[in-house]
Amino acid sequence: MAEPEPQPKPKQEPELRPGETLLAEWRPVLGIYIGRVVFIASIWMLIAGGLGGHFSELAHAPYFALAAFGLSLAHQVIAYEDGSEWLRRRGDLWRLTSERLIYENDRDAERAPVSVELVEIRRARAWMFWAVRVQFNDGQTTMLQFLPRARQVRDQIACALNALQETRGA
C-alpha cells in the first residue's frame, strides 16, 4: 500500500500580545536565491576572465567566457555551500508586528522561533537585492535572506520602528 503524501502544515498565526498587531510576513523566494548565485558567479567569471586574458589568447573566445561562468557557478555552489543554503533558508518565515520581529523555521528547531523586540533594533538596511541586514543595539546583526523587494522590507521595518518610538515617546 502506498504511503500517503505528507500534507503541508497549516499556517499558524503567531501568538500576539494584547494590543500587538501583525504588520507583515516575508518568506524567501527561489528566484531571488538563483539571482544571487548567478550574480556572484558572474563576478567570479569577470575576475577569471580578466586573469585569463593575461595568460592566453583564448580569453577573447566566447567559449572561454562560457567556461569561466560555468566554473564560477560551480565554485559558488560547491565552495560556499550555496546549494545547502537554500535548503536551510527556504522554510524561513519572518513576521513583523507592532512590537517584535519574529523568525520561524520548522527546519531550524534549534534557533526558531525567535522574537526580538523592535526597541532592540538599531536599523535595517537592504543588502544588494537579496537580503535585509538588521543591526541590533548590542552590535549583532542578522540577515533576512532571499526576500523579494528588500528595500520595501527595510522600509516596513523602519516604519514599525518609527511608529513604536512615536507611541513610546508620546
Q: Distance (Å, rounded) from C-alpha 117 to C-alpha 17? A: 12
Average pLDDT over residues 106-123: 85
Task: Return the C-alpha cell found at 145.
Answer: 535572506
- CB neighbour list of residue 38: distance below 8 Å, 6 or more residues apart: 73
Q: What is the pLDDT of residue 8?
A: 45
Overall fold of domain 23-28+91-169: PH-domain like (2.30.29)
Nearest to 33 by CA among 143, 152, 154, 158: 143
Q: What is the average pLDDT across 1-5?
A: 50
Q: What is the residue whose three cell numbers read 565554485?
A: 75
Q: What percent of the chain has pLDDT over 70?
A: 74
Could you tell me the residue ranges of all domains in the chain?
23-28+91-169, 32-86
85: enclosing H helix or E strand = helix 82-89
pLDDT tens string 54-68: 555 555 566 666 777
